[in-house]
Amino acid sequence: MLRLAGARLLDDRDYPAVRAALAADPVGSCMVSARVETAGLDPWRLGGELWAADSRPVRAGRLQGLCFSGPNLIPLRGNASALRSFADRALRRQRNCSSLVGPAEQVLGLWDELEPEWGPAREVRHDQPLMALDGIPAVASDPLVRPVRPEELDRYLPAAIAMFIEEVGVDPRNGDGGAGYRARVAELIAAGRAFARFEDGEVVFKAEIGAMSSTVGQIQGVWVHPERRSGGLGTAGTASVVTRLVRGMNRTASLYVNAYNGPALAAYRKIGFQQVGQYATVLF
């Protein structure tokens, strides 16, 4: 297959075009917007690189393709030619991302290009509804769900680990004994973005606000203790986090969920979430 010369690394000259591209889809681009708003386009501060399929800086108009390469590879926009250019650049180096995630059309198209050399994937999740809610939840919030305090890290961490294993299928403690994952959870707690309901000192519900841009907060890690499921804790608890985001932080609440997870989809729709897009994830 004919390949392009490869994607171009973006720099500060491209910032206006990047911001315009991200603003065009604030929910879908939340993970990347949160980084760019804080760090700009410098790779060291950004924790990764932003690539475009355009051959030169775009001073006005629309970027034809946009992809973030860091801990995750996130193609946000681009046609088949753009995706081939992203694949070309990605394949010049050893893979160091843990997943490929983002809008389904771009993720699955990019994976078609990468799979011959990066495959097989551990799992491909083709259909993940991307959902958003910018108003008050349609169900009552759980008044016992609150931000986790820093001194509660050791009580919160087992629930976070259990959630990660259930959702991702690997133990986050592998490799470094859990030091990296513990640090990431501690950062969320310190930022006031980890929430839980404790009963007798044990977490029975938890959720976090992961990526947070100036307009959107992405809810992640929703989990209910196995012995307390099907009792409404997840619905009411998630509604509490949505209320914090919408009322307390003036953001649209968003999340994405596997289409095969019927109970979770039903709970989110009951809260008032509407589907605004479709994500896909390739797990390595």
Span 150-159, pLDDT tens digits: 999 999 999 9
Give the pLDDT band of residue 96 (cuts 50, 70, 90).
very high
Residue 59, number of CB atoms within 10 A of its CB = 9
pTM for this model (two decimals): 0.93
Q: Could you tell me the CA-to-CA distances from 261 to 125, 169, 217, 238 in Å, in that order?
A: 12, 15, 22, 16
Give the pLDDT band of residue 5 (cuts 50, 70, 90).
low
- 1: pLDDT strictly greater than 90: no
- How open is the CA angle 113-114-115, to the nearest 5 degrees? 100
Span 253-272, pLDDT tens digits: 999 999 999 999 999 999 99
Residue 225, number of CB atoms within 10 A of its CB = 17
- 99: pLDDT strictly greater than 50: yes
Write down all domains in the chain, each with its CATH number in brackets: 8-120 (no CATH), 146-277 (3.40.630.30)
Please compute the mean of the pLDDT values over residues 232-241 and round it to a whole number: 98
Span 150-194, pLDDT tens digits: 999 999 999 999 999 999 999 999 989 999 999 999 999 999 999
pLDDT of residue 209: 98
Locate tokens 């009963």: which residue?
Answer: 199
For the chain, percent helix, then strand, then coil, each to nearest 5? 40, 25, 35
